[in-house]
Amino acid sequence: MDSHHLDTLLLVGSGVLILAILAVRVSVFAGLPSLLVYLGLGLLLGSSGLGISFADADLALALGLSALVLILAEGGLSTKWEHIRPSMGFGLLLATLGAAVSVLVVGFGAHYLLNLDWELAFLLAAVMTPTDAAAVFSVLRAVPLKRSVSGTLEVESGLNDAPIVVLVVAISAGDLADHGPWAFIGLIVFELIVGAVVGFVVGRVGAWLLHRVALPASGLYPLAVFAFTVLAYGSATGVHASGFAAVYVAALVLGNTELPHRVATKSFVEGIGWLAQIGLFVMLGLLASPDTFRWWHIWTGLAAGAIVTFIARPLSIAVCAVWFKRPWREQLFVGWAGLRGAVPIVLATIPLAAGVTGAHDLFNIVFVFVVAYTLLQAAPLTRLASMCGVLSDAARDVEVEAAPLERVSADLLQIRVPPGSKLAGVEIGELRLPHGASVSLVVRDGTTFVPHRTDRLAIEDDLLIVAARSVREETEARLRAVGRHGRLAGWNED
């Protein structure tokens, strides 16, 4: 690639990125999922639009898997363990047993009802089964859900890619027929367990190192955190385990560790997650060629989507919920909120890159399914959450960013009072922070002042608190307790 082509690529790429960022506001205003806007940008730029040709399935697969790694890392780093722990069992069962039920139902349905041959039918079933982490996490940002529901969706979307990738690769390579179903099940169990162990070890080692190594610039911490999650992926794949399970578990461990500059790290990884989503969806839009779509692709995509959405998904939820006491309304919402997004399209590039017969038809069918059913499922989510009684009315937790003060063995904590927090109206003295911690500065509407103990906090205030390292955790716990329960926290509840 010469310098002229590189300059053109940078120009076009930066323009597309700016348009995609602005498109987030357009999608919110129009009530459309942003991923559809990004796909539309890709289609507009592609061979059926402005004429940019992109048909390299191998490159698309490599870029797609790389983007999924970053999206899973962002999801794990943004997930609080205390929120998903009660739902871990249900979410894990959905990611494994639920996925198996869905694949079987859709596979037989695609063969007997849609007249697809067995290989293409079960490839279609496997590709359409997993929920998409990017789509699910975007829903969780927009719709405040009860922890039992949001935790289930997060765990399922974070872990169900791992077994499905193994299945799609095995079918595409013809390994499933050679080794039999039981050997394949054993392989999936091995990859999931070993991948999770590798991710846990890498996450713990990364947290230990970041706690003990004072980096010279705060911007290095987010880079180091992301590097450890990618290291977990590479380490797991190096021992033939699930890299997706490893990256999610490593990110979960790192995200739930008291790391320096945690809020800055969260903002950085959220930005990287958005960048990965934008690049992924635009690329998949470029890869698609609407002029090759036939009515058969549209009909099959809609029909197969109906089997997944209205038969396979509810059945898999019901089978897994037998082991857990979940209300039927919660099951209904979890079933409907399992958005697919880009993951099925990325998985459809695996047989495309492997040269499987009918892979181009499969890609077109899956593309139609994703566009149609993302629109269908995303539009009524807020209203459905309200009808099912799964909306959360809890106030937002305060976010605490910490900067180490090494010479005095203390930490500088930065706290913003979020909307809905019961910190608003509380006097500084009523915070009752532990001995060794004090509010040093308050920033309100761009004005800074040293607070008196009778000054009251307000929404969107930024507080700077200096806390001795020995009482930092106690200080954070106290702030969160007041944020949830008000000035009487600690007196009116256990």
Between β-strands 410-416 and 437-444, what pairing exists: parallel, antiparallel or unpaired? unpaired
Averaged pLDDT of the chain: 83
Sign of CA dihedral 282, 78, 33, 344: positive
Burial 407-417 (b: 16+ CB within 10 A, else e): eeebbebbbbb
| Mean pLDDT, residues 159-174 | 84
Q: The whole model's pTM is what?
A: 0.77
State the greatest distance between any 2 C-alpha atoms of the chain, in Å, as a whole number.
75
Does residue 259 or residue 241 have the better pLDDT?
Answer: 241
Burial 422-454 (b: 16+ CB within 10 A, else e): bbbebebebbebeeebebeebebeeeeeebeee
Domain 399-485: give its CATH superfamily: Regulator of K+ conductance, C-terminal domain (3.30.70.1450)
Can you read off the two tokens belonging to residue 94? 């959905």
Q: Residue 144: CB partners within 8 Å, gap ≥ 6?
A: 391, 392, 394
| Mean pLDDT, residues 281-296 | 85
| Mean pLDDT, residues 60-77 | 86
303-324 tens-digit pLDDT: 999 999 999 999 999 999 888 8
Domains of the chain, residue spans = 33-388, 399-485
Radius of gyration in angstroms for the set of CA atoms belonging to the chain, rounded to a whole number: 24
3-class secondary structure, 447:
strand
Q: Is 25 exposed, middle or buried (0-12, 13-18, 19+ CB in 10 A)?
A: exposed
CB 409 within 8 A of CB 469: yes
Cβ atoms within 10 A of the Cβ of 123, count? 27
| Mean pLDDT, residues 397-409 | 67
DSSP string, 127-183: HHSSPPHHHHHHHHHHS-B-HHHHHHHHHHHHHTHHHHHHHHHHHHHTHHHHH-HHH
Under the banding of pLDDT at 50, 70 and 90, the label for residue 494 is very low
Is the pLDDT assigned to residue 409 strictly greater than 80? no
203-236 tens-digit pLDDT: 999 988 887 777 777 778 888 888 999 999 999 9
Between β-strands 447-449 and 462-468, what pairing exists: parallel, antiparallel or unpaired? unpaired
12-41 tens-digit pLDDT: 778 777 777 776 666 555 445 667 777 878
* Segment among 52-56, 57-61, 103-107, 467-471 with least mean pLDDT: 52-56
- Locus of tokens 């495309």: 352
pLDDT for residue 263: 66
CATH T-level fold of 33-388 = Na+/H+ antiporter like fold (1.20.1530)
